[in-house]
Amino acid sequence: MKHRIIAWVLLLCLCLAGCAAGTNNENQDDAGKSRTGTERAMIPTVTVPADPQRVVCIGAGALRLYSYIGDMSRLCGVEACEKGFLISVRPYQSVHEELFRSLPSVGAGGPQGAPDAEALLAVHPDVIFSLYTSDSAAMDELQNKTGVPVVVCSYGKTEAFDTAITQSLTLMGEVLGRQERAKTVTDYIESIRTDLDRRTRDIPDAEKPTVYLGCQSNYGTHGLGSSTAGYALFDAVHARNVLDEAGYSGYQKALDTETLLTLDPEIIIIDAGGLALFLEEYKKDPTVYDSMRAVKTGEIYLQMPYNAYYTNLEIAFADAYFIGKTLYPDAFADVDAAQKFDEFSRALLGEDCYKTVAAQMYGGYGKLDPALLR
């Protein structure tokens, strides 16, 4: 059903894609001071107030997207999991920690959470932004229980540069009357994607080292065998992902050491969130890992984990530049990944956030200290 959310956003980007067709809201006035989704056959729409002043965001990543473009003074509640959980790797929480802790809880939240209609009603929102589910029936039910319009957003399938993200931000901007801020952010995201492509698209494959992502976070931390074919950040810099070249597709949760030895990448990028697990694996059988080319040559690098209650865009973008600089130093000679991290967090959240994340992640971007393997 994830594709259905994306379809709603694609088809109704400025038509307030939501869940229940033709649903009215008690905040709508008779003078038509509301934004109503354009009627199209078989496409759900939702009516929202023209100037919603009380907003809640539920589900993985909804509050983050709102933090990028929304007026934080309009928030009237947040999910409990947004009050300090994994704050070091969720920059939007770090920036707004005091505010989030001061607001009422509108449910537990979390990856396995579900909307809490009673808690939502208690804070009297004018609109609910949701990333809980693409199930229209579930969102219809929530809207019917609360009488509050529910606007469904999405991160899409590729996490960092998916068009569903920019379309969701545009959608939020339209609902909130913050179209100018939304355009500033979406144009900025596109400029990042374009710059990465410009720097790397003409590099011949023969001049590119092969690379592997290890310890990829996915509903928790994992060891070196956790990786993805078609990895968005590798694709953004036209990298030679060994999984792509070996014919794999999608996420691989636990590739065994035999497979890793066969893939034998020249460079390994490790998601720092899973580094401790890799070190445990290594120390159990170092001779196996020492046979890998990247381990022999010391070409193992740490990127910051960006998946924590979905994608922290500022971290993902900085990771892409770090990967680019690691693979193609000449093409990224002017880039410092830590500075890029702060540049992106300032643009999206208004504050530098790199030190907060790096302090919890082995000092931040860089080559893995060989002493950790001994």
Whichever domain contains 217, its CATH number is 3.40.50.1980
Is 197 among the domain residues? no
Coil vs helix vs strand at 40: strand
Q: Are residues 239 and 138 in the same domain?
A: no
Q: Are residues 182 and 221 in the same domain?
A: no
Token pair of 180 as six digits = 């100018």
Q: From its phi and psi, is residue 366 left (phi > 0), alpha (psi between -120 and 50) or beta?
A: left
Nearest to 279 by CA among 361, 371, 190: 371
Q: Are residues 161 and 288 in the same domain?
A: no
Q: Are residues 152 and 297 in the same domain?
A: no
Is 31 among the domain residues? yes
Residue 61 is predicted with a pLDDT of 93
Question: What total of structural domains would you count in the chain?
Answer: 2
Q: Are residues 117 and 48 in the same domain?
A: yes
* Domain edge (last residue) among 188, 211, 246: 188
| Pairing outcome for strands 47-49 and 34-36 | antiparallel
Is 193 among the domain residues? no
CB atoms within 10 A of CB 83: 16
* Domain edge (last residue) among 122, 157, 188: 188
Nearest to 357 by CA among 81, 72, 11, 86: 86
The residues facing 56 across adjacent strands are 128
* Domain edge (last residue) among 135, 155, 188: 188
Residue 44 is predicted with a pLDDT of 54
Is 231 among the domain residues? yes
Residue pair 87/357 in contact by the 8 Å Cβ criterion: no
Q: Are residues 214 and 356 in the same domain?
A: yes
Kindly give the confidence (pLDDT) of every residue in the chain, 374 residues in length, as a single tens digit, with 9 standing for 90 and above.
Answer: 232 233 333 334 333 433 333 333 333 333 333 333 332 233 357 788 889 999 999 998 999 999 999 999 999 999 999 997 767 789 999 999 999 999 999 999 887 778 899 999 999 999 999 998 666 777 788 898 999 999 999 999 877 899 999 999 999 999 999 999 999 999 999 999 999 999 999 999 999 999 999 999 887 889 999 999 999 999 999 999 999 999 999 999 999 999 999 999 999 999 999 999 999 999 999 999 999 999 999 999 999 999 888 899 999 999 999 999 999 999 999 999 999 999 999 999 999 999 999 998 888 999 999 999 88
**What does pTM read for this prediction?**
0.87
Q: From its phi and psi, is residue 310 left (phi > 0), alpha (psi between -120 and 50) or beta?
A: left
Q: Are residues 46 and 88 in the same domain?
A: yes
Residue pair 272/305 in contact by the 8 Å Cβ criterion: yes
Is 172 among the domain residues? yes
Is 350 among the domain residues? yes
Is 56 among the domain residues? yes
Q: Are residues 176 and 272 in the same domain?
A: no
Distance between CA atoms of 44 and 110, rounded to whole angstroms? 26
Q: Are residues 116 and 182 in the same domain?
A: yes
Range of the domain at 18: 2-188
Q: Are residues 171 and 226 in the same domain?
A: no
**Angle, helices 313-327/179-200, rounded to nearest 10 degrees:** 10
DSSP per-residue string spanning 69-137: HS-GGGB--B-GGGSSTTGGG-HHHHHTHHHHHHSPB----STT----HHHHHHT--SEEEE-S-S-HH
Residue pair 211/266 in contact by the 8 Å Cβ criterion: yes
Longest dimension (CA), the chain: 75
Is 294 among the domain residues? yes
According to DSSP H, which parts of the chain are helical?
2-11, 62-69, 91-95, 97-102, 117-122, 136-146, 163-176, 179-200, 232-236, 242-245, 257-263, 275-284, 286-290, 293-297, 313-327, 337-349, 354-360
Q: Are residues 218 and 123 in the same domain?
A: no
Q: Are residues 183 and 208 in the same domain?
A: no
Distance between CA atoms of 6 and 183, rounded to whole angstroms? 19
Residue 140 is predicted with a pLDDT of 81
